[in-house]
Structure formats: C-alpha cells, structure tokens
Structure 1
C-alpha cells in the first residue's frame, strides 16, 4: 500500500464525491500535514448538497474506502467538535 497524496486523492475521489452529492470536501490529519504513512487512515471533511442522513454518510465512507483501500473517517463540517474545529480547519486541504 502506498502513501496517499492530496493530488492523487483529488483524481481518485472526485467521481465518488460527485456521485454522493458532496458540495465540498477536504482532507485533514496526517495526509494534509504530509506525515501520512502507508498504513495511515484518511480523514475527510465533507459538506453535502441538501440534507443527508447517517446511511448516506456510511455509504460515502464505504465507497471512499473501496477507492483508497484503507480506513476512511468522514466528518461533516457541521459536526466538527468545537474542541478540535480550529485545528482541523487550519490544516484542511480542499480536494473538491
């Protein structure tokens, strides 16, 4: 398994993000900071077009994991914990 790069993620994940009606997406965590290893998970922030439910979020997570072949943590901008919000937003790198 190779290390993920933001450039690689943009091209690989764009079709999945569009299919799930994502309005914007960004990576954060080790991939965004350049400290990811071959075994790192992928942390991604999303904002959907319109209202979505938990099943929509899980479906997106599964489809993203199939594309990157590793664990993916999907977090919506609205659900960001206030305790980590500033840190996450300061390191986010837009992919869509």
Structure 2
C-alpha cells in the first residue's frame, strides 16, 4: 500500500514538474521563435531571437561607443540619444 501511494505521489510530482517545464519552454522559446518565423514570412526583417539577453549586449556596446564620442552642435542628435534604435532603423529600415 505504501509503495503504491509513494508511486502515485512521485508520478503526480513528475507530471506537475513536466507541465511547468513545458509552460516555461513554451513561453521563453517556442512562442518567440514561432512569432519570429511568422514575421519573417510576412517579409519583416529583424534580429533573431536570443534567449535571456536578447539585444542587450549590442545595445550596451553601441551606447558605450556613442558615449566615447563628443557631441557637436551641428551633429544629428537621434544617433546620440538612442543609438541602438538608430542602428536598427538604418540596418532594417
């Protein structure tokens, strides 16, 4: 009797764990990749989906580059204010 009850509890725990793992995987990998594929089929370009950090490394790199350059009065300001957004618009239109 105890073995059966223990087996049922372990099985239930595994089902809950697998269910939770599936939800996490679906929300963090499958759904974004599906959305990326659908957008590409519609002709929209963009950076590929990257788990966890996304575009943050590139954003910080561009921001660091912009901070190292002085801003002149005659310069265009959007590349200095939002360097990543300016880069994406130039790259993908």
Whether TM-score is above 0.5 comes out as no
TM-score when normalising by structure 1 = 0.29
After TM superposition, the score normalised by the length of structure 2 is: 0.30
**If each structure's strand is expressed as a fraction of its own residues, which one has the higher value?**
1
Give the structure, 1 or 2, with the largest relative contact order (CA under 8 Å, sep 6 or more). Answer: 1
Which has the larger helix fraction? 2
